[in-house]
């Protein structure tokens, strides 16, 4: 599940395809995001949960992706994906959101009115590492923001 998907919620329906993340999993996601922010703040004091910071990470992925060993690939995808997801939640505060698991993958459900959008930022970072900058983490981040803030949705 690398792509953004859109789900129309039915009145009174319960989405059974997702399970809530545990408190421990939520803490781990937040800790990963915080560790990335802390690591980059020393180099860039403006680093935070914002588009320029996600762009910096995305450019870093593009620059180093071919040299990553398998363990680095997994670590970077999880850390940067957690950061990107947390940044999506923070940057789109006007839209209700929650972390979920679907088939073992961590994602975020954004809900506005009767519409839901599901994104998988960690999977997207894996896709960026594996398949290149045409799957830019930054472009994904901005596309999600545009979708969530569009007045036509």
Q: How far apart are CA 26 and CA 130, in angstroms?
A: 26
Q: What is the structure's pLDDT at 2?
A: 30
> Mean pLDDT in each 10-residue stretch from start to end of the chain (153 residues)?
36 61 96 97 92 97 97 97 98 96 94 93 98 98 95 57
- Identify which of 113, 114, 107 has the alpha carbon closest to the alpha carbon of residue 88: 107
**Tokens linked to 138:** 């930054």
Q: Can you tell me the distance from the alpha carbon of 115 to that of 94, in angstroms, rounded to the nearest whole number?
A: 14
Phi, psi of 10 (to 5 degrees): -95, 145
Specify whether the CB–CB gap between 54 and 92 falls below 8 A.
no
> Which conformational region is residue 125 in: left (phi greater than 0), alpha (psi within -120 to 50 degrees), or beta?
alpha
Kindly report the pTM of this predicted structure: 0.87
Q: Distance (Å, rounded) from C-alpha 64 to C-alpha 59?
A: 9
43 burial level (CB within 10 Å; 0-12, 13-18, 19+): exposed
Number of H helices, E strands in the chain: 5, 5
**pLDDT value of position 87:** 98
Q: What is the pLDDT of residue 152?
A: 57
d(CA 61, CA 146): 22
Domains (ranges, CATH) in the chain? 5-149 (1.20.120)
């Amino acid at each position: 599940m690398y792509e953004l998907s859109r789900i129309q919620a039915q009145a009174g329906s319960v989405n059974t395809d997702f399970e809530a993340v545990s408190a421990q999993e939520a803490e781990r996601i937040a800790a990963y995001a915080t560790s990335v922010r802390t690591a980059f703040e020393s180099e860039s004091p403006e680093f935070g949960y914002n588009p320029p910071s996600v762009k910096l990470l995305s450019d870093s992925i593009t620059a180093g992706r071919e040299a990553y060993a398998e363990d680095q690939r997994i670590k970077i995808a999880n850390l940067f994906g957690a950061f990107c997801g947390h940044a999506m939640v923070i940057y789109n505060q006007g839209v209700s959101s929650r972390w979920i698991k679907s088939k073992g993958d961590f994602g975020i459900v954004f809900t506005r009115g009767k519409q839901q959008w599901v994104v998988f930022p960690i999977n997207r970072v894996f896709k960026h590492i594996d398949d290149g900058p045409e799957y830019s983490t930054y472009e994904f981040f901005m596309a999600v923001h545009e979708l969530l803030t569009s007045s036509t949705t």
